[in-house]
Amino acid sequence: MKSLLKLTFVDLKLYLRNHIASFFTLVFPLLMLVLFGAMYGNQPSALFGGHGSMDVTVPGYIATLVIGTTAFLSLPVDLALQRQLGILRRMRATPLRSGVLLGSKIITNLVISLVGMILLVAAGALIYHIYLPANWLDVLLGILLCCLSLYALGFALASVIRSAGAVRAVSFIIFYPMMFFSGGTLPSQFLPGAVQTVAKAMPMTYSVNLLHDLWFGAGWNGTAVLALLGFLAAGVLISVRFFKWE
């Protein structure tokens, strides 16, 4: 446990020193919130079930701009880069167990996601007086499931693709369509029917749906939970089968 905490502390410092990763996880969601809040405000609308635009936007931003960024732009690129530079190989030669090395990556990104969520929710509450959920425990458990599921896919991506440059390119190709089509940044009501159909194959769509339902008290979305568990299992199996330390 002591080794895990120390390594996690080091990983957190390295993450925060990566200004690009920190910007997109912690600052970019706030900029999006302020930008679209200034454009559309947060007046109640029948289109959003009596809620405002920012009310329905915040849980989607958590799923896409916070969790999605750490899962697809930070985690796999970091793993691939450390493997390419020989860092993982050298660390594996130390007395540290493999589980400690991988666990520190998961905890680091969980902490960063939690900080990003707190900043986003605080800004939304202070500036736009957004709707806040009554049952935070369910929301936090849902966020944990979304994180683990998408992180498993991030691990799988870094396992299948060896080059850090290739992982970065593929991550961007995967992430940005999901960001726009999953209903997280643009409400799904505004998307064409064909796009909504394609979005059903995207894991981030189920993260958005789950968090949206939990946020507004609709309970656990069974379809989203099963889909995320399926993506989690697939990511773990692929990672176990293909992950290389060097």
pLDDT of residue 108: 93
Q: Which amino acid, 159?
A: S
pLDDT of residue 246: 75
- Domain total of the chain: 1
Report the chain's terminal Cα–Cα distance, integer Å. 25
pLDDT of residue 44: 86
pTM above 0.85, yes or no: yes
pLDDT of residue 204: 94
Instruction: Give yes or no for a contact between 58 and 124, defined as CB atoms under 8 angstroms apart.
Output: yes
Neighbours of 165 (CB within 10 A): 12
pLDDT of residue 96: 67
- State the Cα torsion 215-218-223-229 to the nearest 10°: 40
Residue 17 burial (10 A CB sphere; 0-12, 13-18, 19+): exposed
Instruction: Provide the domain limits for residue 60.
Output: 2-242
Q: Which residues of the chain have pLDDT under 50?
A: none
